[in-house]
Amino acid sequence: MSVKKEFFKGLVDKNPVMVLGIGLCPALAVTTSVSNALWMMLATTFVLTCSNILVSLVKNIIPAHVRIPVFITIIATFVTVVEIVLKAYQPEVYTSLGIFIPLIVVNCMILGRAEEFASRNGVFMSIVDALGMGIGFGLTLTVLAFFRETLGANKLFGYTLIPGFEPAGIMTVAPGAFITLGLMLWAMNSIMTSRKKH
């Protein structure tokens, strides 16, 4: 088990959104702007790393049949910490991400990593896994948000790109998110298959 392999699997081979198909709800919902996507990446990676560390530390003392409530308590605690801290120090981010901050609790990527990885591996490897998965998740969101913000609002980081250009409003709503994600999956899969052939 190499550190490099565990880190990069989250970015490509086991990318949570593009390959495993988990964490889709925030991926579709908060990607209306690149800054929202980046803050979501930061918040989720923080929660994922903290929960992976803790789950990995307590994995031997928790009886198997109560592990899910314990994992959920750990995750929910860190999500609430993120929520309170954002409310106090980044009120604008708190308002624009809204309900999707508390909903990190039910992002199955986090419980999935606790169950599949952190409860079976050491602390260091769990951190590497969390960082890889968090960044892989966040990069996908950022790319998705880039297309949606530029095409749907004619903006980047909230600033107009081409003055006077009428943007395609459909990109800011759910159908635009699904279409963009679909095209991204198509591109990713065709690259992966052509790479395997050679």
Q: Which of 31, 15, 46, 20 is nearest to 143 (CA)?
A: 31
Residue 25 in the binding site for other proteins (CB under 8 A): no
Among 15, 56, 142, 172, binds other proteins (CB under 8 A): 172
Residue 63 in the binding site for other proteins (CB under 8 A): yes
Q: Is 159 helix (H, G, I), strand (E, B) or coil?
A: strand
Among 16, 17, 36, 135, binds other proteins (CB under 8 A): 36
Of residues 17 and 153, the one with the C-beta less far from other proteins: 153
Residue 184 in the binding site for other proteins (CB under 8 A): no
Residue 62 in the binding site for other proteins (CB under 8 A): yes
Q: Residues 78-88, buried b or exposed e (16+ Cβ, 10 A)?
A: bbeebbeebee
**Which tokens hold the place of 133?**
């998965």
Longest CA pairwise span in the chain (Å): 62
Q: Is 119 helix (H, G, I), strand (E, B) or coil?
A: coil
Helices 123-153 and 34-58, axial angle in degrees (round to 10): 160
Among 3, 5, 73, 187, binds other proteins (CB under 8 A): 73
Residue 40 in the binding site for other proteins (CB under 8 A): no
Residue 33 in the binding site for other proteins (CB under 8 A): yes
Residue 88 in the binding site for other proteins (CB under 8 A): yes
Residue 2 in the binding site for other proteins (CB under 8 A): no
DSSP 8-state symbol, 1: -
Count CA within 13 A, CB hemisphere, residue 57. Answer: 8
Residue 1 in the binding site for other proteins (CB under 8 A): no
Shortest distance in whole angstroms from residue 134 CB to other proteins? 21
Q: Which of 108, 101, 133, 110 is nearest to 29 (CA)?
A: 101
Give the footprint of other proteins on this chain (CB under 8 A). Answer: 30, 32-33, 36, 61-63, 65-66, 69-70, 73-74, 76-77, 80-81, 84-85, 87-89, 91, 96, 98-99, 152-153, 155-163, 169, 172-173
